[in-house]
Amino acid sequence: MNGSPDRACRISTERLLLRPTRSADSDRAFEIQSDWEVTRMLRLASFPPNRDEIRVWFDRVGWGQGYGFEAAGAVVRFAFGDASLSTLRSSYAADNIASKKLLLKLGFRPVSTVRRVSRSRGEQITQVRYVLMKPPGGDKTTSKV
């Protein structure tokens, strides 16, 4: 293993490799975010993302193939296991039904609803906030993940 921070922050699944973004990703990110159906669901579409947050979005060709659940499940396992976190928070635009289904499938529970400005839409949206607590008794997440 080389000493690069990028290599140290990788999470692998059967089909995916999750890693921090880097400048070489900017052209592809711009291409994906140029699709209105993708970007309209991103309240604060930005590149690169804030290091304190995990933002997930997929090119439209990847929608409906289970990549979101696979990626998010791996992040949940990493967060509760390797990173020793006890609570995860997430949110989505209320009209993003796919994100709602994903969070519920992972075991997240709704905690609040707020109005926020969506930079991509240029208007106020309803944002639904969710939380997932680490299950008692270990590093394992729910059997759903």
CA separation, residue 125 to residues 10, 11, 47 (Å): 33, 32, 21
With a cut of 80, say whether residue 96 has pLDDT above it: yes
Predicted TM-score (pTM) of this structure? 0.70
Quick one: pLDDT at residue 50?
Answer: 46
Average pLDDT, the chain: 77
Span 43-84, pLDDT tens digits: 555 444 444 455 566 777 777 888 889 989 998 998 898 888
Strand 17-18 relative to strand 11-12, pairing: antiparallel
Residue type present at position 102: L
Give the E-state strand segments of the chain in sequence order: 11-12, 17-18, 87-93, 109-118, 123-133
CATH superfamily, domain 5-133, is Gcn5-related N-acetyltransferase (GNAT) (3.40.630.30)
- Note whether 129 and 111 are within 8 A (CB): yes
Domain spans of the chain, in order of start: 5-133
Peptide bond into 48 cis (omega under 30): yes
Is 70 exceeded by the pLDDT of residue 1? no
Residue 129: pLDDT above 80?
yes
